[in-house]
Structure 1
Amino acid sequence: MITKDVSAEIEAAISSLHAEGKEPTVALVKARLKTKVPMPALITVIKSWKSSQHVPKVEIAAEKAEQPLELRVKELEQQVAALTQRLTALEQSRD
């Protein structure tokens, strides 16, 4: 499984909130993140930061590389064509 380290992103979110005079909460930190981080991980990080001003290393499963748009469109067009054929066959068998 490929993982991605998001510690720096979380630390930046917490630091920016702290600099603004806001108490870092799960909701506020999550809103500032670009990467989806599981709630239990955020809770652990925020507790750690509140007790020792330290953000532990957080790794999450890396998302699959997204296919190019042209390839995705081509696959969708193929699916639509196949479904259209199936629908036509079903309609003909009903008549």
Structure 2
Amino acid sequence: MSSDHEIYQIAAQLAAENKTPTVALIKARLSQSLPLARVIKGLQTWQNNPKIAETSKPEIKIQKNSNEKPFTLTDVELLIKQAIAPLQAEIELLKAKLSE
């Protein structure tokens, strides 16, 4: 998943939890540390288009040749986490809509 997509997903999750997405809240939930400027830009992009989390496609990189290092358990766990993040965000949005 691209880091921008992860930022959009986290912002959508926070909104679904009736929390105002902030840079600090997003940084706390990121799977990896990102530069502050990138988080700010991602949050601003999401604020201008909250549906971007639904429309942007996550990027999952798969090992393509034998010269690359083999997957570790942590790599597989990360790929799984990235794959289910959009589903979790959608569930949170649906829960928020149902509770309204």
The two structures have a TM-score, normalised by structure 2, of 0.46
Q: Which has the higher contact order (CA 8 A, sep 6+)?
A: 2
Kindly indicate which of the two structures has a greater share of residues assigned to strand.
Answer: 1
Bigger Cα Rg: 1
